[in-house]
């Protein structure tokens, strides 16, 4: 068997093996999970930043459905909910008076934040009510994606001292972009929908620059492949792996040409 035949077989075997191995990261990327973690507390709570940091770090990360980026989204009022819920209350007995947002953490200073908070001031015609909130994100006008639920809390008439804060960290599966927030208020005793509030009601929950903490990383890994000019930065993709494979095949081809010239 000639040297050229041996080299050709080795090249083919290496190429097949590398394709099989390098396909594995691609499968993992396709199954990327979406997750977030949140804490909630009264706006009047005496909590310093260190305490909030500790609580959020200890919070259990919630696995979510993959982020939907395209499709229809409903706004604020949901007709079917108006007719099938609020069995225990008068219609329009609840409203969200004001919402305030705060962008908190941007590690890589690119203007997109992975940690933020939403403060809700809800009012009711009753003296006191026991409620909780569900929060959703819309990626650049796409469908609503659930991301957090507050703990249950009391609201008192139209008091300004019962506002509640939901502070969240988007841990994975949220691409960099501009997000709208939707708030749904529920009765904590009967789990009935009470009212909704969205970006068309309040500009402060519109086009928030957000991304997940996986993307918001200042410690970017850089890999310099041997004998190539390819630089891999960040997560990587199948396209980059194919570039590396092409570089390896090119190196083997150069070796074959050198070998032939010597012969």
Regarding whether 230 and 189 lie in a shared domain, the answer is no
Q: Token pair of 243, please?
A: 């570039």
Residue 215 within a domain: no
Domain at 61, CATH number = 2.60.40.770
Residue in the block written with tokens 């994975």: 172
Q: Which long-range contacts (CB under 8 A, 24 or more apart) does 28-32 make?
A: 29/235, 29/237, 29/238, 32/66, 32/172, 32/173
Task: Output the CA torsion sign for 24, 114, 143, 185.
Answer: positive
Three-state SS annotation for 166-191: EEEEEEECCCCEEEEEEEEEEECCCC
112 phi and psi, to 5 degrees? -115, 130
- Supply the range of the domain harboring residue 14: 3-30+220-262
Regarding whether 119 and 40 lie in a shared domain, the answer is yes
List the beta bridge partners of residue 64.
34
pLDDT at 222: 38
In this prediction, what percent of the chain has a pLDDT beyond 90? 57
Regarding whether 11 and 67 lie in a shared domain, the answer is no
The pTM (predicted TM-score) of the whole model is 0.69
Label the pairing between strands 34-42 and 94-105: unpaired
Regarding whether 146 and 16 lie in a shared domain, the answer is no
Regarding whether 166 and 102 lie in a shared domain, the answer is yes
Residue 141 within a domain: yes
**In the chain, how many domains are there?**
2
* Band (243; pLDDT cuts 50, 70, 90): low
pLDDT at 92: 83
* Band (27; pLDDT cuts 50, 70, 90): very low
Q: Contact, 186 vs 138, CB < 8 A? A: no
> What distance in Å separates the CA atoms of residue 134 and residue 78, rounded to the nearest whole number?
15
At 74-85, the pLDDT tens digits run 775 554 454 444
Q: Contact, 165 vs 40, CB < 8 A? A: yes
Regarding whether 127 and 38 lie in a shared domain, the answer is yes
Regarding whether 97 and 149 lie in a shared domain, the answer is yes
Regarding whether 176 and 102 lie in a shared domain, the answer is yes
Residue 46 within a domain: yes
pLDDT at 240: 53
pLDDT at 87: 55
At 175-205, the pLDDT tens digits run 999 999 999 999 999 999 999 999 999 999 9
Q: Contact, 183 vs 204, CB < 8 A? A: no
What dihedral do alpha carbons 20, 241, 223, 66 form, nearest 10°?
Answer: -90
List the beta bridge partners of residue 103.
116
Regarding whether 82 and 124 lie in a shared domain, the answer is yes
> What distance in Å separates the CA atoms of residue 30 and residue 241, rounded to the nearest whole number?
15
Regarding whether 49 and 168 lie in a shared domain, the answer is yes
Regarding whether 142 and 109 lie in a shared domain, the answer is yes
Regarding whether 149 and 46 lie in a shared domain, the answer is yes
């Amino acid at each position: 068997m000639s040297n050229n035949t041996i080299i050709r077989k080795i090249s083919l075997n290496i190429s097949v093996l590398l394709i099989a191995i390098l396909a594995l990261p691609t499968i993992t990327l396709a199954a990327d999970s979406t997750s977030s973690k949140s804490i909630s507390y009264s706006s009047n709570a005496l909590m310093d930043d260190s305490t909030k940091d500790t609580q959020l770090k200890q919070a259990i990360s919630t696995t979510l459905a993959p982020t939907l980026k395209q499709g229809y989204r409903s706004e604020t009022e949901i007709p079917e909910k108006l007719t099938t819920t609020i069995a225990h209350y008068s219609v329009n007995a609840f409203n969200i008076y004001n919402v305030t947002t705060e962008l908190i953490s941007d590690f890589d200073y690119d203007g997109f934040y992975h940690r933020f908070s939403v403060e809700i001031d809800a009012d009711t015609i009753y003296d006191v009510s026991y409620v909780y909130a569900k929060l959703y994100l819309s990626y650049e006008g796409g469908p609503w994606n659930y991301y957090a639920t507050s703990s249950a809390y009391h609201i008192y008439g139209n008091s300004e001292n019962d506002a509640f804060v939901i502070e969240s960290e988007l841990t994975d599966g949220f691409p960099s972009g501009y997000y709208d927030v939707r708030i749904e208020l529920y009765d904590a005793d009967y789990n009935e929908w009470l009212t909704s509030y969205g970006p068309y009601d309040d500009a402060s929950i519109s086009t928030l620059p957000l991304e997940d903490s996986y993307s918001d990383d200042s410690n970017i890994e850089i890999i310099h492949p041997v004998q190539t000019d390819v630089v891999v930065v960040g997560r990587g993709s199948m396209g980059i792996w194919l570039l590396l494979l092409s570089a390896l095949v090119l190196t083997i081809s150069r070796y074959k040409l050198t070998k032939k010239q010597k012969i």
